[in-house]
Amino acid sequence: MSPSSVGACDTVMCMDTKLVVVALMALIVGAGGGYVFANDARGQGAHRMPDGSAMHGEMNSMMAGLAGKTGEEFDHAFITEMIVHHEGAVEMAEAALQHAKHEEIKQMANEIISAQTREIEQMKEWEMAWYVQ
């Protein structure tokens, strides 16, 4: 490998990585205003819907499902939780297509749908190959 290629990456892989990062950021911040970050009654962060209702423990629950697991058990739990997580992102992105004002958000929503649908399909294939008897 030449010194000039250190840190270089395949363009498609870089784009996919960037798309995943953007999609995850969009999911966290709400993909067009679906959620606002606020504090719950205990002073801890909670995601809130526009009507003020809290999404208590969604991410905490997903992370708890991974706690203490390693190897094959971790992999299966990770795939299971990520499928649910990605399906939620796709649902939010579909809502953004219907309700967002800015074309940039709609473009991001289309990218989220495309990338995460592809990733859901991949994870479901792995799940079938590795865990379904």
Phi and psi at residue 37, in whole multiples of 5°?
-85, 130
Per the DSSP assignment, residues forming a β-bridge with 39 are 45
The DSSP bridge pattern shows strands 54-55 and 36-39 to be: unpaired
Q: CA-to-CA distance for 117 and 115, rounded, in angstroms?
A: 6
Multiple choice CATH, 6-131, 1.20.1260, 2.60.40, 1.10.10, 1.10.12: 1.20.1260
pTM of full prediction above 0.85: no
Q: Which residue has the higher pLDDT, 16 or 90?
A: 90
Q: At which residue do the structure tokens 């297509």 appear?
A: 97
CA distance 131 to 94: 30
Q: Is the pLDDT of residue 112 over 70?
A: yes
Q: Residue 57: what pLDDT?
A: 60
pLDDT at 80 over 60: yes
Q: What are the domain boundaries of the chain?
A: 6-131
